[in-house]
Amino acid sequence: MRYTPSGQAVTSFPVATNRTYTDSSGQRVKETMWFRVSTWGKLAENCNNYLRKGSKVLVEGRLTGDTTTGGPRIWTRQDGTPGASFEITASVIQFLDSRSDSPAEMDDGIPGAGDHIPEDEIPF
């Protein structure tokens, strides 16, 4: 977490989404897409306090494109392969780990603003 010169809290963190499918040749393919999430204000403070590596979250917000291309941010990994990530400015972060690990939902920093959705009911 960091603070802007005006004192507003900002927390940024990466989120990975995994997709596994079978290609046309019958091979299982695992695909990972990375998103860079930015949160502001009380929501940033809560994310800083409750999220840890491996935490499960649902993120709602707006996609922000690269200022020069309008698309995802593109870079070259250390092994020489290309990488890309999308930027999301979050308005809602729902913590999906057990309630003993973290709050159920933070809506712009307000704990319990919505109902906790059981993991088996999430449509993706």
Residues β-bridged to residue 51? none
Residue ranges of the chain whose pLDDT lies below 70: 99-124
Cα 93 from Cα 58, distance rounded (Å): 6
How many angstroms separate the Cα of 90 from the Cα of each of 15, 29, 57? 12, 29, 11
36 lies in some domain? yes
The SS3 of residue 102 is coil
124 lies in some domain? no
- Domain of 109: which CATH number? 2.40.50.140
pLDDT at 34: 86
Cα 51 from Cα 44, distance rounded (Å): 10
121 lies in some domain? no
72 lies in some domain? yes
23 lies in some domain? no
> What distance lies between CA 16 and its chain's CA centroid?
7
Which domain does 78 fall in, by range?
Answer: 2-18+28-113
pLDDT at 48: 95
pLDDT at 66: 82
